[in-house]
Amino acid sequence: MSPPERGKLSAEVAKMRTLIANGVVVTAAGSMHADVTIEGERILQVGDGDGLPADHVIDATGRYVLPGAIDPHTHLDLPVGACTSSDDFSTGTIAAALGGTTTVLDFATPEPGQTLSGAVDTWMRKAEGRAVVDFGFHVIVAEGATATPEALAALAGAGVTSVKVFMAYPGRLMLGDGEIFEVLRDSRASGVLVMLHAENGGVIEALVHEALKAGRTAPRFHAATRPPAAEVEAVHRGIVLAELADAALYVVHVSTSGAVEEIRKARQRGLRVIGETCPQYLVLSDEAYLAPGTAPFGVVMSPPLRPAAMQSRLWQGLADGDLQTIGTDHCPFLMRDKLRGRDDFTGIPNGAPGIEHRLALTFDAGVRERRLTLERWVDAVSTAPARIFGLYPRKGAIAPGADADLVIFNPDATCEISSATHHMRVDYSIYEGRRTAGAVETVLLRGDVIVNEGRFVGRAGAGRFLARAPHTA
């Protein structure tokens, strides 16, 4: 199939009818052999498409047809100290598209003295005209930021219905328990979902001080000073604060078995607690900090990688629904920036690349290894984020009326991840040399082919801002 000419998503494309034939349609609700008929930007019909004329036909024989994936956790063009995350909304969303992600939700971070709405304006300027997939924003409520009920209502009115608070990074991002409680309580009326970075910042600062005083400055001590218990305690405390505020809580980048257990118990008690994990915690372990050369600098992230024994509990949490979503926490830095911390691990900017490989990694390690069903996998990478963040059923669904964001995925293909071939603007890969089963072949954004046979054919600025509905779960 020849994709529509680049740059021509216009009136002629709006009238175009595309048939995706002979594939296995996989949604969170089930799988079936079916055709998908697209008219313009929306799905017209799911079923036998033989009787409908089509301008273009895509043969999906032997392939899965998936709803476009939604990455609920990215950090594009983010200033961090003296450096900035290396992917902007152009390079980062191109990599996302090639990996089957058609929507990203990025974190707008206020500058000192800037309002929450002002941060959204700044991030809109970063994204508009560059993003090649659709996008929305969360807003970080940091130390010194004003998150009044009026400010939260203004965000919700603009379609930004989630904010993030931190229990870590004192003096920069960390809020006290009382401040977090107030944000949770004030979020309810406006339908804003509060997201939580759960690590005990005070304990971590004390451990970091001790490590540096003892001359323990290598990257592995970043992990040693952020022990699993610091996450588990913070998750428990965050859940208690949410319960006191009678508010929903979304715990980002869960990395420990103990944190999964805290979320499980809270949900069993009927609390509205949602858990997210990331591919790095599912397939990598803290042994990566012992690798030779500069590789350990690349895996400095927060929370850090954990012992391999914890991975099975994360997978089980996803399978059982204790964890609902898989995001990437994509926050890449060039190695030269990572090496700013050559003599002091606290100088290493926290974050790692991953926006391009989420589907392949989790299909390979999850579905292929029988840890997740196909349907639960699709739910975690697409449908659950759409529901949680006010995008469903426009996104995350293959149904009449939904946006025609679709991924044609070849379960039998194999690929090798490498910094030499990936499309993220970063000069290393934390998955270097890892082979995965399954590959994205074709991606459609609102009916327009943006990836064709593994090659990006979209256009800058095709991505649109998504105004999201209030959180209601």
CA 274, chain centre distance (Å): 14
Cβ 166 vs Cβ 144: under 8 Å: no
Q: Which pLDDT score is estimated for 6?
A: 33
Q: Which two tokens stand for residue 192?
A: 């804003």
The CATH number of whichever domain residue 283 belongs to comes to 3.20.20.140
Looking at this protein, which amino acid is placed at residue 134?
Answer: D
Q: Answer yes or no: do 84 and 18 share one domain.
A: no
Neighbouring CB atoms inside 10 A of 230's CB total: 22
CA 351, chain centre distance (Å): 13
Let me know if residue 4 belongs to a domain: no
Alpha-carbon gap, residue 214 to 217, rounded angstroms:
9
Q: Which pLDDT score is estimated for 143?
A: 76
Q: Answer yes or no: do 279 and 267 share one domain.
A: yes
- Strand pairing report for 17-27 and 42-47: unpaired
Let me know if residue 467 belongs to a domain: no
Looking at this protein, which amino acid is placed at residue 322?
Answer: D
User: Domain range for residue 434?
Assistant: 11-66+395-456
Q: Answer yes or no: do 306 and 381 share one domain.
A: yes
Let me know if residue 3 belongs to a domain: no
- Which sign does the torsion angle of CA 95, 83, 347, 72 carry? negative
Cβ 55 vs Cβ 92: under 8 Å: no
Residues 6 or more apart whose CB falls under 8 angstroms from that of 287 comprise 308
Q: Answer yes or no: do 73 and 130 share one domain.
A: yes
Let me know if residue 335 belongs to a domain: yes
Q: Which pLDDT score is estimated for 473?
A: 65
Q: Answer yes or no: do 231 and 349 share one domain.
A: yes
Domain count, the chain: 2
Q: Which pLDDT score is estimated for 8?
A: 41
Which of residues 372, 388, 404 is at a domain's end? 388
Q: Answer yes or no: do 105 and 191 share one domain.
A: yes
Let me know if residue 316 belongs to a domain: yes
Cβ 471 vs Cβ 192: under 8 Å: yes
Q: Answer yes or no: do 96 and 225 share one domain.
A: yes
Q: Is the peptide bond before 393 cis (omega within 30 degrees of 0)?
A: yes
Let me know if residue 1 belongs to a domain: no
Q: Answer yes or no: do 376 and 409 share one domain.
A: no
Cβ 317 vs Cβ 323: under 8 Å: yes
Q: Answer yes or no: do 356 and 297 share one domain.
A: yes
Looking at this protein, which amino acid is placed at residue 121?
Answer: D
Let me know if residue 31 belongs to a domain: yes
Calculate the alpha carbon distances from 211 to 52, 198, 285 in Å.
Answer: 68, 21, 21
Which of residues 360, 388, 416 is at a domain's end? 388
Q: Which pLDDT score is estimated for 7?
A: 37
Calculate the alpha carbon distances from 395 to 4, 67, 163, 315 in Å.
Answer: 22, 8, 20, 25
Q: Answer yes or no: do 149 and 103 share one domain.
A: yes
Per-residue pLDDT tens listing for the chain (473 residues): 333 333 344 445 567 899 999 999 999 999 999 999 999 999 999 998 776 788 999 999 999 999 999 999 999 999 998 999 999 999 999 999 999 999 999 999 999 889 999 999 999 999 999 999 999 999 999 876 778 999 999 999 999 999 999 999 999 999 999 999 999 999 999 999 999 999 999 999 999 999 999 999 999 999 999 999 999 999 999 999 999 999 999 999 999 999 999 999 999 999 999 999 999 999 999 999 999 999 999 999 999 999 999 999 999 999 999 999 999 999 999 999 999 999 999 999 999 999 999 999 999 999 999 999 999 999 999 999 999 999 999 999 999 999 999 999 999 999 999 999 999 999 999 999 999 999 999 999 999 999 999 999 999 999 999 999 999 86
The CATH number of whichever domain residue 424 belongs to comes to 2.30.40.10
Q: Which pLDDT score is estimated for 5?
A: 37
CA 342, chain centre distance (Å): 29
CA 59, chain centre distance (Å): 29
Q: Answer yes or no: do 169 and 231 share one domain.
A: yes
Q: Which pLDDT score is estimated for 1?
A: 33
Which of residues 339, 359, 388 is at a domain's end? 388
Helices (H), 158-215: 177-190, 201-213
pTM for this entry? 0.96
Let me know if residue 472 belongs to a domain: no
Q: Answer yes or no: do 55 and 178 share one domain.
A: no
Calculate the alpha carbon distances from 305 to 85, 201, 277, 309, 328 in Å.
Answer: 20, 17, 12, 11, 13
